[in-house]
Amino acid sequence: MVSTDNYSLSEQTISMASTPKQKQTKIKQGGWIIDKESNDSDLLLVLDVTDIPASDWVIFETPPQDPDITVASENQNHPANSSVILAVYLSSLNNKLSDWSPETIVEQYTSDELPRGITPYAFPESRLKSASK
């Protein structure tokens, strides 16, 4: 069992998602994902599945003479038209909150009331894989 102080997922759930012979589950809001490019095994909770391409999602605005920094420009090994997924790290939730559930966090995100210190990150969908059944 993979455990954290506040939330746990069974190893079976994780291994099923990472088994190449298994059909991959589509990434959904409230689901668990893994960053395929991270050396860290930390899971992420999906806050939003957008239809916005990575090339249009601005991470940092720059002076007018410079191009803005986008999800696509920061993830050049992925298609610029890959949809943006917003997610938060499980370790961040456990480190900063004493009592939470995935449903509560998604609801707080949706109503623009995420607790202070919980930072959503934007990823191109092609960089992620589902860790949910």
State the Cα–Cα distance between residues 101 and 115, nearest whole angstrom.
13
Report if residue 82 sits inside a domain. Answer: yes
Residues 50-109: tens digit of each pLDDT:
999 999 999 988 888 898 999 999 999 999 999 999 999 999 999 999 999 999 999 999
The total number of structural domains that make up the chain: 1
Binned at pLDDT 50, 70 and 90, residue 121 comes out as very high
What CA–CA distance (Å, rounded) separates 41 from 62?
32
Q: What is the pLDDT of residues 14-39, one digit of tens each?
A: 333 444 444 445 899 999 999 999 88
Does residue 5 form part of some domain? no
Q: Is residue 37, in this structure, part of any structural domain at all?
A: yes
Write out the two tokens for 5.
């102080």
Please, where are the H alpha helices in 36-121? 71-74, 90-96, 102-110
Residue 54 lies in a domain: yes
CA 18 to chain centre: 16
Q: Please check whether residue 35 lies inside any domain of the structure.
A: yes
Output the pTM of the full model.
Answer: 0.78
Q: Which domain holds residue 100?
A: 29-128
Residue 13 belongs to some domain of the structure: no
